[in-house]
Amino acid sequence: MVAILVHGGAGPHRPDDDVEGAKRGCLVAARAGYEVLRRGGSAVDAVEAAVRVLEDDPVFNAGIGSALTRDGRAELDASVMNGATLDAGAVAGVTCFQNPITLARRVMERSGHVMLMGPGAEAFGREQGLPTVPNEALVTAAARRELQEHRTSNGTVGAVAIDSAGHLAAATSTGGTTGKLPGRVGDSPLIGCGTFADDRKAAVSCTGLGEAIIRVTLARAAADLVEDGLDGFEAARRAVATLARARGQAGLILVTPAGQLAWAFSTQRMSRGWVDSRGEGCGFGAD
Ligand code: GLY
């Protein structure tokens, strides 16, 4: 049994949202990850592949199309975690990689560290031979408009998967929040906050207001509730409910060790797509 679930970000539902583009993009990403699993790839391979598709799609707040800092630049955060080994890798504030999720995976597998930030992360990526892009290549007209209109964005993308060996993985990538201060780091690269995976608990990826997600260590909280025996959807709902005390709204996706895919969100929408042995699907709001 293999399965994958991705999200394309939680937030307010605006009249100009590209609902169909977001649903289609999530499904395309989920299919890409599922194909990796079907061919015998690991859960880590699958979540990286799915998140790369979302980073390459300008509809989403990650990679190309990232939300911009107050100064109009893209500063990207990403992380990945392997539920079999508890290995994790993360990068924060990187400005010249279209696929920071792959850089995060290199940190996990080749750096001896868990997290690298800013110029050090970028130097490591160059050493690793990862392709770089000018910062402007990550900036879209839509992201500039959002900044000019002072509209907040809580996009973020992520994926969770279970592979044929029963191992779990989670990955998350984001441009963060529109108009953020340069140097601001959200939940996405923080293990236990935006991303968590443990084969004995669950794999979880979060989206929404990072400042609130960090305060309740949302991803770890949801995984612990699964370990306590809750159904996946109930665990997701209860974890998201803890955000009220931290004055924030967010959403999360998870996969349990039994292969159940589940999600919850307290925002108006959280685009998502999934593929498992029973078929595939996608959603945007409460649908
Ligand atoms: N959840 C993404 C962020 O707040 O940066």
How far apart are the two ends of the chain, measured CA to CA in Å? 26
Q: How far apart are CA 124 and CA 101, in angstroms?
A: 14
Cβ of residue 271 lying under 6 Å from some atom of ligand 1: no
Q: 3-class secondary structure for 15-49?
A: CCCCHHHHHHHHHHHHHHHHHHHHCCCCHHHHHHH
Q: How far apart are CA 41 and CA 48, in angstroms?
A: 11
Average pLDDT over residues 43-52: 98
Q: Which positions ≥6 away from 213 have C-beta within 8 Å?
A: 186, 187, 193, 194, 206, 219, 243, 246, 248, 250
Average pLDDT over residues 41-54: 98
In this predicted structure, what is the pLDDT of residue 150? Answer: 77
Average pLDDT over residues 248-255: 96
Cβ of residue 189 lying under 6 Å from some atom of ligand 1: no
Catalytic residue selected from 156, 172, 178, 267: 156
Instruction: Please give the model's pTM, rounded to 2 decimal places.
Output: 0.97
258 Cα–ligand 1 center, Å: 28
283 Cα–ligand 1 center, Å: 21
The mean pLDDT of the chain is 96
Cβ of residue 188 lying under 6 Å from some atom of ligand 1: yes
Three-state DSSP state, 264: strand
Topology of domain 3-84+138-276 in CATH is Glutamine Phosphoribosylpyrophosphate, subunit 1, domain 1 (3.60.20)
The first and second tokens of residue 213, run together, are: 């997600």
The first and second tokens of residue 277, run together, are: 């042995």
The answer, yes or no, to whether residue 222 has pLDDT greater than 90, is yes
The answer, yes or no, to whether residue 15 has pLDDT greater than 70, is yes
165 Cα–ligand 1 center, Å: 31
